[in-house]
Chains A and B, each alone.
Chain A
Amino acid sequence: MLRFFIGRLAVLIPTFLGVSLIAFSFIRMLPGDPVMLLSGERVMAPERHAQIMHDLGFDRPMYVQYFDYLGKVLHGDLGTSIVTKRPVLGEFLTLFPATLELSFCAIMLAVCLGVPAGIFAAVKRGTWFDQSVMGVALIGYSMPIFWWGLLLIIFFSGYLGWTPVSGRISLMYFFKPVTGFMLIDSLLSGQKGAFASAVSYLILPTIVLATIPLAVIARQTRSAMLEVLGEDYVRTARSKGLKPLRVVGVHALRNAMIPVITTIGLQIGVLLAGAILTETIFSWPGIGKWMVDSVFKRDYAVVQGGLLLIAGVIMLVNLIVDVLYGFINPRIRH
Chain B
Amino acid sequence: MSTVTVKTGQPSALAEFWHYFSRNKGAVIGLVVFVIILVVAVFAPVFAPHTPNEQNRQVLLAVPAWMEGGSISFPLGTDAVGRDILSRLIYGARFSLFIGVVVVTLSVVCGVLIGLVAGYFRGKVDTAIMRLMDIILAFPSLLLALVLVAVLGPGLTNAMIAISLVNQPHFVRLTRASVITEREKEYVIASRVAGAGTFRLMFKTILPNCLGPLIVQATLAFSAAILDAAALGFLGMGAQPPTPEWGTMLAESREFISRAWWVVTFPGLAILITVLAINLMGDGLRDALDPKLKRS
Question: What residues of chain A have their CB less than 8 Å away from a CB belonging to chain B?
Answer: 11, 14-15, 18-19, 22, 26, 29-31, 135, 138-139, 141-144, 146-148, 150-151, 153-154, 158, 230, 269-270, 272-273, 276-277, 280, 291-292, 295-296, 303, 307, 310-311, 314-315
Stretch at the interface among B55-63, B199-207, B254-262: B254-262
Beyond A138-B279, A147-B272, A150-B250, whether A292 also contacts B146 by CB under 8 A is: yes
* In the bound complex, CA of A19 to CA of B137 (Å): 10
Can you list 16 pairs linking A and B with CB atoms under 8 Å apart? Answer: A19-B135, A138-B26, A142-B279, A144-B268, A147-B264, A148-B268, A150-B268, A154-B264, A273-B141, A276-B140, A276-B143, A276-B146, A295-B150, A295-B237, A303-B147, A310-B140
Residue of A nearest to B223 (CB): A142
Residues of B contacting A150 in the complex (Cβ-Cβ under 8 angstroms): 250, 254, 257, 264, 268
Question: What residues of chain B have their CB less than 8 Å away from a CB belonging to chain A?
Answer: 26, 131-132, 134-135, 137-143, 146-147, 150-151, 153, 223, 227, 230-231, 234-237, 247, 250, 254, 257-258, 261, 264-265, 267-268, 271-272, 275-276, 279-280, 283, 296
Number of A-B residue pairs with CB-CB distance less than 8 Å in the complex they form: 119
Is there contact, CB below 8 Å, between A19 and B131? no
B150 partner, pick from A19, A277, A303, beta carbons under 8 A = A303
Least CB distance from A204 to B in Å reads 13
* In the bound complex, CA of A296 to CA of B232 (Å): 13
* In the bound complex, CA of A31 to CA of B152 (Å): 8
Residues of A contacting B283 in the complex (Cβ-Cβ under 8 angstroms): 138
A138 partner, pick from B137, B250, B258, B280, beta carbons under 8 A = B280
Residues of A contacting B254 in the complex (Cβ-Cβ under 8 angstroms): 150
Residues of B contacting A296 in the complex (Cβ-Cβ under 8 angstroms): 236
Is there contact, CB below 8 Å, between A277 and B231? yes
* In the bound complex, CA of A150 to CA of B26 (Å): 28
Is there contact, CB below 8 Å, between B140 and A277? no
Is there contact, CB below 8 Å, between B131 and A18? yes
Known contacts A19-B139, A146-B250, A150-B254; can you find 15 more A-B pairs with CB under 8 A? A14-B131, A142-B276, A142-B279, A144-B231, A144-B268, A144-B272, A146-B230, A147-B264, A273-B141, A277-B142, A292-B146, A295-B146, A310-B140, A311-B138, A314-B139
Residues of A contacting B275 in the complex (Cβ-Cβ under 8 angstroms): 142, 144
Residues of B contacting A310 in the complex (Cβ-Cβ under 8 angstroms): 139-140, 143
Is there contact, CB below 8 Å, between B135 and A22? yes
Residue of A nearest to B30 (CB): A138
Closest 5 CB pairs between A and B?
Answer: A147-B268, A273-B140, A18-B135, A142-B275, A142-B276
Residues of B contacting A315 in the complex (Cβ-Cβ under 8 angstroms): 138
Residues of A contacting B280 in the complex (Cβ-Cβ under 8 angstroms): 138
* In the bound complex, CA of A315 to CA of B136 (Å): 11
Residues of A contacting B227 in the complex (Cβ-Cβ under 8 angstroms): 142, 144
Residues of B contacting A11 in the complex (Cβ-Cβ under 8 angstroms): 134
Residues of B contacting A29 in the complex (Cβ-Cβ under 8 angstroms): 151
* In the bound complex, CA of A142 to CA of B231 (Å): 13
Residues of B contacting A147 in the complex (Cβ-Cβ under 8 angstroms): 250, 264, 267-268, 271-272
Beyond A26-B151, A154-B257, A154-B264, whether A144 also contacts B142 by CB under 8 A is: no
A314 partner, pick from B26, B132, B140, B151, beta carbons under 8 A = B140
Is there contact, CB below 8 Å, between A269 and B140? yes
Least CB distance from A45 to B in Å reads 28
Residue of B nearest to A148 (CB): B268
Beyond A138-B280, A141-B279, A142-B223, whether A272 also contacts B268 by CB under 8 A is: no
Residue of B nearest to A28 (CB): B151
* In the bound complex, CA of A18 to CA of B169 (Å): 15
Residue of B nearest to A16 (CB): B138
Beyond A291-B143, A307-B147, whether A143 also contacts B272 by CB under 8 A is: yes
Residues of A contacting B143 in the complex (Cβ-Cβ under 8 angstroms): 272-273, 276, 291, 307, 310
Is there contact, CB below 8 Å, between B264 and A139? no
* In the bound complex, CA of A273 to CA of B139 (Å): 9
* In the bound complex, CA of A18 to CA of B268 (Å): 37
Residues of A contacting B247 in the complex (Cβ-Cβ under 8 angstroms): 144, 146
Most buried by B among A31, A273, A303: A273
B257 partner, pick from A22, A158, A303, beta carbons under 8 A = A158
* In the bound complex, CA of A141 to CA of B283 (Å): 12
* In the bound complex, CA of A280 to CA of B232 (Å): 12
Residue of B nearest to A150 (CB): B264
* In the bound complex, CA of A146 to CA of B146 (Å): 15
Least CB distance from A166 to B in Å reads 12
Least CB distance from A219 to B in Å reads 10
Residue of B nearest to A143 (CB): B272
Most buried by B among A146, A154, A276, A307: A146
Beyond A147-B267, A147-B272, A154-B264, whether A276 also contacts B250 by CB under 8 A is: no
* In the bound complex, CA of A146 to CA of B251 (Å): 10
Beyond A18-B131, A30-B150, A314-B139, whether A151 also contacts B272 by CB under 8 A is: no
A31 partner, pick from B131, B140, B153, B235, beta carbons under 8 A = B153
Residues of B contacting A295 in the complex (Cβ-Cβ under 8 angstroms): 146-147, 150, 237
Least CB distance from A164 to B in Å reads 14
* In the bound complex, CA of A95 to CA of B272 (Å): 31
Beyond A15-B135, A150-B250, A307-B143, whether A139 also contacts B276 by CB under 8 A is: yes
* In the bound complex, CA of A22 to CA of B132 (Å): 11
Least CB distance from B146 to A in Å reads 6
* In the bound complex, CA of A273 to CA of B150 (Å): 16
* In the bound complex, CA of A182 to CA of B131 (Å): 38
Least CB distance from B289 to A in Å reads 16
Beyond A146-B234, A150-B264, whether A291 also contacts B153 by CB under 8 A is: no
Most buried by B among A142, A148, A153: A142
